[in-house]
A and B are shown apart, each in its own frame.
Chain A
Amino acid sequence: MTSAPRDREIAVVAFAQTAHRRTSEELSEVEMLMPVLHEVLDRTGLKTADIDFTCSGSSDYLAGRAFSFTLALDGVGAWPPISESHVEMDGAWALYEAWTKLLTGDADTALVYSYGKSSPGSVRDVLTRQLDPYYVAPLWPDSVALAALQAQALIDARDTDEPALAAVASRNREAATTNPHAQLRGPVPQGDYLVQPLRTGDCPPIGDGAAAVILAAGDRARDLCDRPAWIRGIDHRIEAHGLGVRDLTDSPSTRLAAERAGVFERPVDTAELHAPFTAQEVVLRKALRLGEDVDVNPSGGALAANPIMAAGLIRIGEAAARIHRGASDRALAHATSGPCLQQNLVAVLEGERR
């Protein structure tokens, strides 16, 4: 293939996800993933052999096994040999790698998938292993505790209060009533404090799930999808790992990623935010300057289903699917990783005028 034109257009042309559940112990990871891969391929009529590049996201720490992603490749069908890569991150970052590959002109189509089974272990403990190993990880501060520190900082700054956080939880789970894949739908009690000021209702469900997306470039995208979700911009940024160095009430990395992705050039009508904890939605809305006119998390977001490693890719997939079906013309998708929104990815997706 020749070098890519500078204005090469790339779109999400198909999206599929599992029904996210608290446990899927009867299925191995590949057994959980395979139906999603088949579904996303079926939507485009493509076969594995037609895909130029494959990239996945997952975590060995969730599985408790080294190189666990290689077993999942059985579900892709890696013979004849395929061009494949993997990130130990949410699948949103695998999508970024695939998007870059398509930009180079080396590929016209890409399959991106990610999955996580949280049920075999304890997510709160597992996520401590991504923290600074010298000063922080030996204290075993779990993911809810760190999110709670951020929530208290927001409350102290008068950016939110507990009733407002409860309203975030309630609105997301109400939206999820129309999402057949969601794990928590409709009214959910705010419950007791898990780590104060966060109550169980402020926290995401723990669950198993997988998602897959197909990307295509230019006319190939138009062939595969009636209304491709064109990626107009995508960028990801990271902040200092030390929590005590950061202003936890703000997310400068999200804002910068959004600027670079072109979010602020024109209004968006939809925003799929990866905010596993209610207080994080408050931070992201502020960082992204989202007004009340933007439909935030029509899928229910991560408060309705948060399969680790797939939840960020799902935000891109949900935003794209809304464009595919004509419910959105310009959507923002956001994914996060690390404690207290440490790393953030922002994409802008657009459908062509109808």
Chain B
Amino acid sequence: MSAVLKAPLVVEFPFTRSLGPVQSAFLTGLRERVILGVKTGDGRTLVPPVEYDPVTAEELHDLVEVAPTGTVTTWAWNPAPRRGQPLTTPFAWVLVRLDGADTALLHALDAPGPAAVHTGMPVRVRWAGERTGAITDIACFEPCDGRRAEPTGHTGAFEDPVTGIVAAARLDYTYSPGRAQTAYINALSGRRTVGERCPSCRKVYVPPRGACPTCGVATSEQVEVGPRGTVTTFCIVNIKAKNLDIEVPYVYAHIALDGAGLALHGRIGGIPYDEVRMGLRVEPVWTDGARYPDHYRPTGEPDADYDTYKELL
């Protein structure tokens, strides 16, 4: 068995999120170097503030300023910072209860080593140089002498409040399609199409995924199909997709390659779009260096009889 294919796969997305009144005030406050909590019905102050009481589910809105100094309630020394974390040098993860708050905020603490960190230690906020209204406006915490900084007396009302955040997310994978699809992709590099036959129902699946979705059993017998096939059904695309270099209208079709037990998708070319029809016999057109057929064109054969492809619609 040849080695399975592998390739880098990056999933990246700028999640754009809107803020409610409480989160908006908190994050706007960070931009202005003000830290706000929210008061609960029983008089606790939650920092970071939430819109609903985690115990009673009561809606919360009474903002109250707390100090930029506080106490470490627990910590963990991180000797090898990872991508995206607040500091690039070794640091401590900390939960910090800010002075005036009853709950703790998660962030990073810049300290020379684990021996310099302990639960109960006093810390203060180190602000980021550029602040946009995000949790990262707190660059990190740093050790301090324990004197409490005074709140500024802010009411929590801001001009030009932040109403949303963009939370960029990126995850890196090494994707492997597994044995069956590796064989399919390797065959395509020789301009051949290979499926797998189900040992139970005898259908040939293409592209193969190693299992018959009807019978739920493993497939392994490789079968070459095509290159010619029959259009089983189609649609006419009239709207140009972004970044797609194909003139509209064009035809996108289901094509049952000869010998295959189900149809593939493909574009039909070499024929006016309004002359494409069910039963049209087609063959793949490859362009130089391509990894799959660019499109399918008519072979000139007579149309296939409906009965020969009606099970493949």
Contact = CB atoms under 8 A, between A and B. Distances in A.
Contacts of A140: 82-85
A306 interface: no
B85 A139 contact: yes
B54 A134 contact: no
Most buried by B among A71, A74, A122: A74
Contacts of B186: none
A122 B172 contact: yes
Given A64-B171, A139-B135, A134 B211 contact: no
Contacts of A30: 209-211
Interface in B225-275: none
Contacts of B78: 145, 195-196
Interface in B200-222: 209-218
Interface in A306-349: none
Contacts of B27: 134
Interface in B163-195: 165, 167, 169, 171-181
B135 A121 contact: no
A76 B213 CA distance: 7
Interface string B94-119: 01010000011111100000100001
A5 interface: no
In this complex, the interface size class of chain B, counting residues with CB under 8 Å from chain A, is: 35 or more
Given A120-B176, A245-B103, A248-B74, A126 B171 contact: yes
Contacts of B135: 134-136, 138-139
Contacts of A151: 76
B213 A129 contact: no
Interface residues of A, number: 58
Given A28-B177, A139-B85, A244 B73 contact: yes
User: For chain B, what secondary structure do more than half of its interface residues adopt (helix, strand, loop), or is it mixed?
Assistant: mixed
A87 interface: no
A35 to B, nearest CB: 8
A150 B86 CA distance: 20
B48 A135 contact: yes
A349 B69 CA distance: 50
A79 B175 CA distance: 29
B192 to A, nearest CB: 21
B171 A141 contact: no
B17 interface: yes
Interface of B: 1, 4, 6, 9, 11, 15, 17, 19, 23, 27, 46-48, 50, 54-55, 73-79, 82-86, 93, 95, 97, 103-108, 114, 119, 134-136, 165, 167, 169, 171-181, 209-218
Q: Which 10 A-B pairs have the closest CB atoms?
A: A77-B216, A28-B178, A244-B104, A148-B76, A140-B84, A240-B54, A196-B77, A74-B213, A153-B74, A64-B173
10 contacts: A48-B216, A64-B171, A134-B17, A134-B23, A135-B48, A137-B169, A139-B136, A193-B79, A195-B76, A195-B78
Interface of A: 25-31, 34, 37-38, 48, 61, 64, 71, 73-79, 120-122, 124-126, 129, 133-142, 145-146, 148-153, 156, 193, 195-198, 240, 242-245, 248
